[in-house]
Amino acid sequence: MFTRQFNQLNSAQKFALFFIGLLFVIGITTENASSKEVLKIGAIGSLSGSGAAWGIATKNGVQLAIDEVNDRGGLKVGGKTYELKQIIYDDTYTGQGGTTAANRLIFEDKVNFIIGPIGSPAALAAGLVANREKVIVLCNGFSPRIIGKDKPYTFRITLSTNEFAPAIVKWMAEKFPNMRKVAVICTTDEVGQAVAPLNIKYYKEGGFELVADERYERGTKDMVPIINRMLIKNPDIIELDGHAPGDVALIVKQTRQLGYKKIMIQTGGPGLEQVLEVARELAEDFLSYNIFDPQDPNVQHFVKAYDKKFGGFINPYCPLMYNGTKLLFHTIEKENTLDTDKIKAAFEKSDGYMTMMGPIKWTGEELYGIRHQILTPFYISQIKNGKIVTYTKIAP
């Protein structure tokens, strides 16, 4: 009957009826699309200052993980599908910045999960706020105080000095058997107070002699007086510890300008691209702890996705923050919950995960009293002929 009535309509009437139907369908589709809930994922990073390379790495890594989930339709949990949205704030690479960023994310944006920050002062500060409010933090910073029984919602998703320094010192002793005098330079803040002593401890245990232990205020631009004090001690190795990339680049440049030609290494957060950019030819032979090899066949899907969206050099922390974010999404969907207590428990009981960077697992009971420390392979890289090359891969 409807077909006969429709056929009796003229062309204009048929078009009007078709147009009304189309609007109806579009309305339903729009309503369904808008009914998809948005799940905010918090992020904290140093988007300005000497640690900016790490903050941008955090932002980009989290976004690539979010894009993967959104491109496949969203995060499915509890009978709902969520569109993911990153909200990131700058911690300015300071403790106060970490506190402010965590407060905004938790109390203004109502997030339950935070990725970052990178850097001990900000990670410690953000963790204090997040743990009080039972918000899970997946962060990085080398201070042993970042994780512990008193911080049950903080997980460290990269290695710290306790995990990589002993293996690096062992490698150094084997690679450079005649280089035994070490000078350490670090900041006066949490990194210098809690991280540098660990590095010194492992060097001494490895048979090295500490000839200088220098500290400087973060943000210092003229390092020459400090460097000269170190050079008077005639060190075979200058250890740059856990500096931000901008500070490392400055120290390498000024030290080489003063004529030092022996070993310079950073057993800490990598910033090789910034060292190369700032120090240029003076960066030759600089060694660094590293956490990513872009030539690895297993990471090519990530490299291609990064190149398509952002382009340029991939800071090593970017794939680790991507890995940590993917780990969070995997666990949320597997446990079918957004409850932070249940996600925390799932992390703690996990036997490990297979990732693009190889197998990873939670550890840390012996050192920190809690199984909240990730364990992953890592690399030692070197600047050679103006390029960053992988020297060796180490499994701690």
pLDDT in tens, 283-322: 899 999 888 888 899 999 999 999 999 999 899 899 999 9
What are the residue ranges of helices labelled H in the chain? Answer: 2-7, 11-34, 52-71, 95-103, 120-132, 161-175, 190, 196-205, 224-231, 245-257, 272-279, 300-309, 317-335, 340-349, 365-368
With a CB cutoff of 8 Å and minimum separation 6, the contacts of 73 are: 81
Contact 366, 149 (CB under 8 A): no
Higher-pLDDT residue of 43 and 393 is 43
Residue 392 lies inside a defined structural domain of this protein: no
Which tens digit of pLDDT belongs to each residue from 32-80? 444 679 999 999 999 988 788 899 999 999 999 999 999 999 999 999 9
Token pair of 40 as six digits: 């905010």
What's the whole-number average pLDDT of the chain? Answer: 89
Residue 384 inside a domain? The answer is no
234 domain-assigned:
yes
Q: Are residues 91 and 135 in the same domain?
A: yes
Please count the structural domains in the chain: 3
Please tell me the predicted confidence (pLDDT) of residue 36. Answer: 73
172 shares its domain with 228: yes
pLDDT at 177: 94
Instruction: Name the residue range of residue 58's domain.
Output: 37-159+296-377
Residue 236 has pLDDT above 60, yes or no: yes
Would residue 71 count as lying in a domain? yes
Q: Quick one: 136 and 177 in the same domain?
A: no
**Does residue 394 belong to any structural domain of this protein?**
no
**At which of 241, 268, 290 does a domain end?**
290
Quick check: is 387 in a domain? no
Residues ≥6 apart with Cβ < 8 Å to 396: 159, 163, 164, 166, 167, 375, 377, 378
End-to-end CA distance of the chain: 77
Q: Both 239 and 93 in a single domain?
A: no
Same domain? 347 vs 284? no
Averaged pLDDT for residues 7-24: 54
- Of 256, 275, 290, the residue that ends a domain is 290
Query: CA–CA separation, 289 vs 286, rounded Å?
Result: 11
CATH number of the domain within which 167 lies? 3.40.50.2300
**177 shares a domain with 276:** yes
Under a CB-based contact definition with an 8 Å cutoff, are residues 364 and 354 in contact? no
Q: 230: pLDDT confidence band, cut at 50, 70 and 90? A: very high
Distance, in Å, from the CA atom of 331 to the CA atom of 317, rounded to the nearest integer, reads 21
> Does residue 59 share a domain with residue 122?
yes
The predicted structure's pLDDT at residue 23: 47
335 vs 12: CA distance, rounded Å: 55
Residues 45 and 75 in one domain: yes
In this structure, are 152 and 141 located in the same domain?
yes
Is residue 393 domain-resident?
Answer: no
Whether 69 and 150 map to the same domain: the answer is yes
What amino acid occupies position 299? V
Provide the CA 107 distance to its chain's centre, in angstroms. Answer: 23
Residue 386 domain-assigned (yes or no): no
Calculate the CA 128 to chain-centre distance: 19
What string of DSSP letters covers 113-154? EEEEEESHHHHHHHHHHHHHTT-EEEEE---GGGSBTTBTTE
Tell me: do 47 and 70 sit in the same domain.
yes
For the entire predicted model, the pTM comes to 0.81
224: three-class secondary structure by DSSP: helix
Average pLDDT over residues 326-347: 97
Verify that 76 and 154 share a domain, yes or no. Answer: yes
Cis status, amide bond into 117, omega within 30 of 0: yes
C-alpha to C-alpha distance for 98 and 89, rounded to whole angstroms: 9
**Mean pLDDT to the nearest integer, 104-131:** 96
- Strand 353-355 relative to strand 358-363, pairing: antiparallel
291, 270 in Cβ contact below 8 A? yes
